[in-house]
Amino acid sequence: MKANTGKIIRVDLNAGAVSIETLPEDYYGKYVGGSGLAAKYFWENGDFNVDALSPEAMLVFMNGPFSGLKLSGASRNSCAGRSPLTGHWADSSCGGFFAPELRFAGFDGIVITGKSPKPSVLLIEDDKIAIVDGTAYWGKGIEGVNTDLKKKYGKNYRTVVIGPAGENLVKFAGIMNEGHHVFGRAGFGAVMGSKNLKAIVVKAEKKEMDLADPVKYEKLRKELNPKMKAALAASLLHENGTAANLEGGAFTGDVPVKNWTSNFWEGMADALTGSTLSEKYLTKRGACAYCGIVCKRVVEVKEGPFAIPEGPGPEYETIVAYGSLIGSLDLAATCKANKICNDMGMDTISSGVTIAWAMEAFEKGDITEADTDGIKLNWGDMETVINIVLPKMAKREGKIGALLAEGSVAAAEKIGKGSISYTTHSKRLEAPMHDPRGGGHGMALTYAMSARGACHVADPMLFVEMGSCFWPEIGFEFELEPKTDENKPEAAVMSIEMGALENSACFCQFADREVTIPEWLELFNTVPGYKWEIPDMMKAGRRVFYLKRLINYRYGLTAKDDDLTPRMLEPARDGEPEGVEINFTGMKEKFYKLMNMDPEKGIPSKTALAEYGLGDEAARVW
Amino acid sequence: MEFWKDSNEAVTAISKMWENVGKDAELREGARKVNQLILFDYTESGPDCAVWVDCRKDAFVIGTGKPPDTPDLTMSLSADDAHRSWMNKLNPVMAITRKKIRVKGSATGLLKLVPKLKKVAVIYAQTLTDLGWADKIMK
């Protein structure tokens, strides 16, 4: 086995036991790594009948085959399992520095079950692995715990930590790496919390990798790194972060305003865009391991009610979720909300969307002060959001904290009064900050098809519709118009296959836009040595997508769950997409046919599964 | 070339368009925010086929051929694709991805102008009409 180590750490917190497990080699060539490999492991070993927050639930961290390479964007990690927020399969990707350290320590992943009798920390120092007491860290914010762990073990020890939100089982709690990079989506911080696992700390002495063809790979690396760095998108990301093009999105109607009631707010183009963040609050830039793009923000708000010391700055998703989505154009407030979410360990997308839903519910009278402990939830009231709502959510404090900590869908189900109609989600995962009505109709389709729920990074459809993907080697030569359904199902098929590859390879979607299909192939063949031709590679992507469909089917999801909410599909009320309707049903029907999926069950046909080497899996569901 | 008799036509139309853009208060303000010397390099369609716009330090100076300083941003494309792009008939992201447009330098400022391209397209069409080239307008 090359690049991958073939070994994972198996942790049973019930027994306080750690063991090393060797994975079958054929898993790698079939499921690539990352979320694909996690899905395969989960399919074979997970207990589908247990609650996501029960001790028996399985939490998986999995590297991709490129983790540890000195290659921009290549060292992310995927966290996966049953989501406490959605109740079905989810995976959540994180950049930063965790993945390469784990690889250098000798492992492709960590699989955790059980519940520690007291707060604990998983300490990995190469092959010396221990579950140690974490009582001293429990109840504390991520920032302080990250600092304390580094003080105790050493600054080069890499950390993943949960905050009070994870401890309090907030359904959208995240996990932070180095206090800056986040496994944000789907609530895996709560899964760690339910296991009394406060942190994982990892350190490797050696930094070695054994590659299939190091000479060829090194030549490719020397071509790819400068190309990725020099790309226009990369230079924009470097200069102004992931919100660099918020201005463009504001005018196309891609950026949601006030819980998706509007697609246009002219003021946000200047107020919230990445260049404004740079001008006003940026102090320096940061990067994930070995990445030359350096798109991360470090900010400081020197004065005013939302002053914060220098620290991690908000990404695009946070800027919109704690900006236009909740009716605010105050970027300083966004920076502070980001800091609180990071420290408490909460996904800024789900938390922001939940607050936006609650603000609309309050405006409509569906939620009253009787539901909020007397707190008024008014659009753009960032003082209330920052000083009252976020801390209460993280601690599940009072009625409002308990309600919103469940996420927008569960909260709407509890409140009733038709408030579910103005939630914005698919499969119970709150939608990200790209509105398909303005950003591209194909995204409506891919949000609905994503296994974890509404997601803009399950596949690169956002970039596909923008025009920044061109894959002639696999037949993708479409010239797409974002606000139509023309060729979108066909494009979505390729986007989803590529997305499954990206997320299984744990590659950053911002960096890899410059990687061509032949270069992808060469990476897979020179690093882990999968010996693929292009069709084998694309087949692996499709196989991963199919397998996640099967997992969700075992959780009770069917074709009817591949849907968006009425709010997301109603014609836009203003802005460039005003009045345009998305042909969601038409796109979905076509997509199902192209992917050979059953229109009722929502899973691939028996024939399709057999064709993709999933015959054994088919026997479980057909 | 598909749209131009020669490269002079392209330079004339596009430089004249920029002059008209400068007369629009909103676009002028947008250009001020860009604060860059931008070179539109169409030399693949002819040796001196280039237009530059200098909007540094509140200036708005238009020229053709080689710019006076090193440009902050250079966009290289054919004169035909320039025509398509100013008519708003060429997706700039797609054109960059497919190497029809090559970009050198910081495009941050230019992003501020992208939302205004529809308005620029109207001015461009009027410019072509004024020059007696209405037949070049793409429907």
**pLDDT digits over A532-572, tens only?**
999 999 999 999 999 999 999 999 999 999 999 999 999 99
- What does the pLDDT look like over B77-127, one tens digit per residue? 999 999 999 999 999 899 999 999 999 988 887 787 788 888 999 999 999
Q: Does residue A46 sit within a domain? A: yes
Q: Where residue B46 sits, what CATH number does that domain have?
A: 3.30.1050.10
Does residue A182 sit in the same domain as residue A277? no
Tokens of A345: 């360990």
pLDDT of residue A362: 98
Instruction: Search chain A and give the residue with CA nearest B97.
Output: A468
**Shortest CA distance to A560 belongs to which of A599, A609, A618, A608?**
A599
Q: Domain check: are A455 and A336 in the same one?
A: no
A415 and A462 co-located in one domain: no
A211 within domain boundaries: no
Q: What is the CATH number of the domain that holds A246?
A: 1.10.569.10
Quick one: pLDDT at residue A200? 98
Residue range A172-200: mean pLDDT, rounded? 98
**Residues β-bridged to residue A286:** A296
Kindly state whether residue B84 falls inside one of the protein's structural domains: yes
Query: Do A113 and A13 meet the contact criterion of CB atoms below 8 Å apart?
Result: yes
* CATH number for the domain harbouring residue A168: 3.60.9.10
The pLDDT value given to residue A149:
98
**What residue in B sits closest to A479 (Cα-Cα)?**
B94
CATH of the domain at A606: 1.10.599.10
Beta pairing class for A77-82 and A89-94: antiparallel
Can you give the pLDDT at residue B115? 82
Distance of alpha carbon A197 from alpha carbon A190, whole angstroms: 10
Please, which residues have CB within 8 angstroms of residue A593's CB and are 6 or more apart in sequence?
Answer: none
If you measure CA to CA, which chain A residue comes closest to B92? A467
Q: Which of B93, B116, B118 to mutate to test the interface with A (most CBs of A within 10 A)?
A: B93
Residue A366: pLDDT band with limits 50, 70, 90 = very high
pLDDT value for B111 = 82
* Beta-carbon contacts of residue B66 (< 8 Å; ≥ 6 apart): B48, B50
B114 lies within 8 A of chain A by CB? yes
Residue B46 in any domain: the answer is: yes
Q: Examine the domain organization and report whether A166 and A285 are in the same domain.
A: no
Nearest CA in chain B to A250: B115
Evaluate whether A487 touches A49 at the Cβ level (below 8 Å): no
- Number of separate domains in chain B: 1
> Which residue from B98, B103, B112 is facing A247, i.e. has the nearest CB?
B112
CB–CB contacts below 8 A, A to B = 46
What pLDDT was estimated at residue A3?
A: 96
For the segment A250-294, what is each residue's pLDDT rounded down to a tens digit? 999 999 999 999 999 999 999 999 999 999 999 999 999 999 999
Number of C-alpha atoms within 13 angstroms, CB side, residue A243? 31
Residue B34 pLDDT > 90: no
Give the 3-state secondary structure of residue A407.
Answer: coil
Which residues in chain A are contacts of B115 at CB distance < 8 A? 247-248, 250-251, 269
Section A457-473 average pLDDT: 95
pLDDT value at position A342? Answer: 98
**Judgement on whether residues A19 and A111 belong to the same structural domain of the protein:** yes
Query: Closest Cα partner for A184 from A75, A315, A69, A286?
Result: A315
Confidence category of residue A433, pLDDT binned at 50, 70, 90? very high
Determine, yes or no, domain membership for A609: yes
Mean model confidence pLDDT for chain A: 97
User: Of the residues A398, A423, A448, which one is the last residue of a structural domain?
Assistant: A423
Helices (H), A106-245: 142-153, 164-167, 188-194, 214-230, 232-240
Distance CA A591, CA A594 (A): 5
Cα–Cα nearest to A164, from A201, A199, A184, A193: A193
Tell me the pLDDT tens digit for each residue of A261-270. Answer: 999 999 999 9
Residue B116 lies in a domain: yes
A94, A272, A286, A352 from A243: Cα distances, Å: 18, 8, 15, 17
**Distance between CA atoms of A444 and A61, rounded to whole angstroms?**
29
Nearest CA among A602, A574, A578 for reference residue A588: A602
pLDDT level of residue B131 (50, 70, 90 thresholds): very high
Q: Give dist(CA A508, CA A228) in Å, integer.
A: 11
**Which pLDDT score is estimated for B32?**
86
Owning domain of residue B28: 7-125
Domain count, chain A: 3
Same domain, residue pair A178 and A317: no
In a domain, B95, yes or no: yes
| Residue pair A200/A11 in contact by the 8 Å Cβ criterion | no
> pTM score, two decimals?
0.96
- The mean pLDDT of A88-94, rounded to a whole number, is 98
Over residues A582-589, mean pLDDT: 98
Domain contains A344:
yes
Inter-chain CB proximity A236 and B111 less than 8 Å: yes
Whether B91 sits inside 8 A of A245 (CB atoms) is: no
Range of the domain at A317: 242-423
Q: Which residues does chain B have within 8 Å of residue A282's beta carbon, measured at their own beta carbons?
A: none
In the predicted model, is pLDDT for residue A182 greater than 80?
yes
- In the prediction, which pLDDT does B30 show? 86
Mean pLDDT for A498-517 is 96
Classify residue A44: in a domain, yes or no: yes
How far is the C-alpha of A144 from the C-alpha of A286, rounded, in Å?
20
| Same-domain status, A252 and A180 | no
Per-residue pLDDT band for A608 (boundaries 50, 70, 90) equals very high
A467 and B115 within 8 Å at the Cβ level: the answer is: no
In a domain, A79, yes or no: yes
Residue B104 in domain: yes
Q: What percent of chain A clears pLDDT 90, i.e. is strictly above it? A: 98
d(CA A309, CA A312): 10
